């Protein structure tokens, strides 16, 4: 079987169009412009690229973007003071603190200081608990983007065997919760999983969120399975010239595509959907904050 390629970049475009429509309506009918604040501590180059593209897309859909760049040695008290200010700013509907944070900052403490209603990453313990109990919450952007692509491709996911490789709080665990919410039979694999190949071979849906370049080979993939590759790994590409690099996923694309029914590419798969879902969450947060009906099809 040769897989259908799930075009996350194109899908993200349709999500952004919907978001832009809601933003326009909020402005015209209610005089409200949704605002997203992004906080970046330190100068990690990959994070800078990512934050810049978020800011650009935020403005493109008509929302206000507020970027706060803090020195790598910013104190926890100063960061918490900024978050408090953003929590109390009525022009800010969504707050994202770029992770990972420098080592001297307590990530849990920082995340849990964000107003859960503005926590567009869905990382606050309150949102994690709401998601785990099937209540309305802010849903983490990367897993939400993966779910949207899966639903779009399959319609119902009910009864499918899903394997999530990776158990991080930002991808693996919330992904598993969403798949469970859609009535999949869910297995979460990780670095201590005994026979990963065997576990993956059972799956109708494989979500790989590990951070190891091309670690999943095609012969682990059940014929016709859907492969969602969350990994974004930059590796050397000497074939492109001296010092050049390229991005690859956690799955070996060519061999997986030979067996899968559908697969997301890297780049152009989950990454663009993540940013589109961040914008979607910001509109959702803005509607909720103003007691307005929230947009349909943009949440889980
Ligand atoms: N597209 C996007 O928008 C996003 C992409 N990413 C990318 O997704 C990947 C994962 O990110 P994140 O969840 O933050 O990563 P983490 O490093 O937090 O988690 C990685 C997980 O993979 C597991 N793991 C590590 N080695 C193996 C192995 N050999 N076999 C099985 N499992 C293993 C770890 O297991 P254990 O818990 O036992 O250590 C851990 O649970 C990265 O490439 C990252 O860049 C991340 C966020 C967003
Ligand atoms: N609080 C917080 N929330 C996050 O959601 C978050 C974070 N911190 N820290 C880092 C990770 C990583 N992440 C990406 C999102 C989009 C792309 C993306 O759009 N990637 C493009 C390629 C970009 C390129 O060319 O470098 C693609 O896959 O096509 C990548 C990575 C969000 N993260």
Q: What is the pLDDT of residues 123-136, one digit of tens each?
A: 999 999 999 999 99
Active site residue 229: no
Residue 1 has pLDDT above 80, yes or no: no
The answer to the question of whether 168 is labelled as a binding residue is yes
Mean pLDDT of the region 64-87: 98
Mean pLDDT of the region 223-252: 96
pLDDT band at 295 (very low <50, low <70, confident <90, very high): very high
pLDDT band at 267 (very low <50, low <70, confident <90, very high): very high
| Mean per-residue pLDDT over the chain, rounded | 97
Q: Strands, DSSP E only, in 44-100? A: 64-70, 94-97
- The residues spanned by each domain of the chain are 33-117, 141-272
| Short-list 215, 212, 211, 223, CA closest to 263 | 223
Q: Strands, DSSP E only, in 89-152? A: 94-97
The answer to the question of whether 191 is labelled as a binding residue is no
Residue 50 has pLDDT above 80, yes or no: yes
pLDDT value for 49: 84
What percent of the chain is predicted at pLDDT more than 70? 100
- What kind of architecture, by CATH, is found in domain 141-272? 3-Layer(aba) Sandwich (3.40)
pLDDT value for 185: 98
Nearest CA to ligand 2 atom 22: 267
Position in ligand 2 atom list of the atom nearest CA 142: 5
Phi-psi region at 243: left, alpha or beta (left = phi > 0; alpha = psi -120 to 50): left
Select which of 18, 57, 98, 182 is catalytic: 98
Q: What is the dihedral of CA 49, 138, 229, 238, to 10 degrees?
A: 10
Mean pLDDT of the region 139-166: 98
For the domain bounded by 33-117, which CATH number is listed? 3.40.50.10860
Active site residue 121: yes
Nearest CA to ligand 1 atom 33: 191
Residue 202 has pLDDT above 90, yes or no: yes
Q: Decide if 33-117 and 141-272 have a common fold.
A: yes
Residue 14 has pLDDT above 80, yes or no: yes
> Which residues 6+ apart lie within 8 Å of 100 measured at CB?
107
Q: Could you give the C-alpha distances from 290 to 59, 74, 83, 204, in angstroms and in order?
A: 21, 33, 20, 40
Position in ligand 2 atom list of the atom nearest CA 270: 28
Residue 226 has pLDDT above 90, yes or no: yes
Does ligand 2 lie within 6 Å of residue 211's CB atom? no
């Amino acid at each position: 079987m040769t897989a259908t390629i799930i075009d996350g970049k194109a899908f993200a475009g349709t999500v952004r169009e919907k978001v832009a429509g809601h933003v326009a309506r909020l402005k015209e009918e209610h005089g409200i412009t949704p605002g997203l604040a992004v906080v970046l501590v330190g100068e990690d180059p990959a994070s800078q690229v990512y934050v810049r593209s978020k800011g650009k897309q935020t403005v493109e859909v008509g929302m206000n973007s507020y970027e706060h760049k803090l020195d790598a040695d910013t104190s926890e008290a100063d960061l918490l003071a900024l978050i408090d200010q953003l929590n109390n700013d009525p022009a800010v509907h969504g707050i994202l603190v770029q992770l990972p944070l420098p080592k001297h900052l307590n990530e849990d403490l920082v995340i849990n200081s964000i107003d859960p209603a503005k926590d567009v990453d869905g990382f606050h313990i309150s949102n994690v608990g709401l998601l785990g109990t099937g209540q309305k919450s802010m849903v983490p952007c990367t897993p939400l983007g993966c779910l949207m692509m899966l639903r779009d491709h399959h319609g119902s996911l009910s009864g499918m065997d899903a394997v999530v490789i990776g158990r991080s709080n930002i991808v693996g665990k919330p992904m598993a919760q969403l798949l469970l919410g859609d009535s999949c039979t869910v297995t979460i694999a990780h670095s201590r999983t005994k026979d990963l190949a065997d576990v993956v071979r059972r799956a109708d849906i494989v979500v790989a969120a590990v951070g190891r370049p091309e670690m999943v080979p095609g012969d682990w993939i059940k014929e016709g399975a859907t492969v969602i590759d969350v990994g974004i790994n930059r590796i050397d590409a000497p074939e492109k010239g001296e010092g050049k690099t390229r991005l690859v996923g956690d799955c070996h694309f060519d061999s997986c595509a030979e067996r899968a029914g559908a697969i997301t590419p890297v780049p152009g798969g989950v990454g663009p959907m993540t940013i589109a879902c961040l914008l979607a969450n910001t509109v959702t947060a803005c509607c909720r904050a103003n007691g307005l009906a929230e947009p349909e099809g943009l949440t889980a």
